[in-house]
Amino acid sequence: MSLLAIQIPPRVRPPARAAGDAVPATEFDYVLSANGRAVTGTGRATPSRMPKADSVVAVLSDADVAWHLVTMPKSPASRVRAALAGILEDALLDDDEVLHLALPPRYGAGQAVWVAVVNKPWLSATLAMLEGSGLVVER
């Protein structure tokens, strides 16, 4: 199974723009693996000129992801986001509505987990640009 890993450049944060208005990049560095284990190609291209692969992964810059260790609340699945927003309220620099919170695939109430926090408008715009060029990001 071939794998295409796309490095998403750090979000540009001009002081005159609002936090969610950052313009996504138009070219991306990438690594291609024909078998998902060994690198078979690298390069930089616009999304429409990237090689095709069975699986596409986006790799965010460490400057764009904030990590928070929290104890998962005991709340129904439909209320987990609101509960996490309450727990992280003092640690977050942006309003909850403009943030994407990512959890590990499996977690339980009362368990300590790492929550990844990313600017949602910027991430959505970047993923939309990639998907508009036929690259469906799975992870």
Instruction: Give me the pLDDT at residue 75, please.
Output: 83
Pairing of the two strands 28-33 and 3-8: antiparallel
Amino acid making up residue 86: G
Tokens of 94: 């942006």
Asked whether the predicted pLDDT for residue 136 surpasses 90, the reply is: yes
Query: Would the pTM of this model clear 0.95, i.e. be above it?
Result: no
Instruction: Give me the pLDDT at residue 23, please.
Output: 53
Asked whether the predicted pLDDT for residue 105 surpasses 90, the reply is: no
In the chain, what's the furthest Cα-to-Cα distance? 46
| Span 32-76, pLDDT tens digits | 999 989 999 999 999 999 999 999 999 999 999 999 999 988 888
> What residues are paired with 3 via a beta bridge?
33, 55
The residue whose two tokens read 């690259």 is 135
Q: What percent of the chain has pLDDT over 90?
A: 58
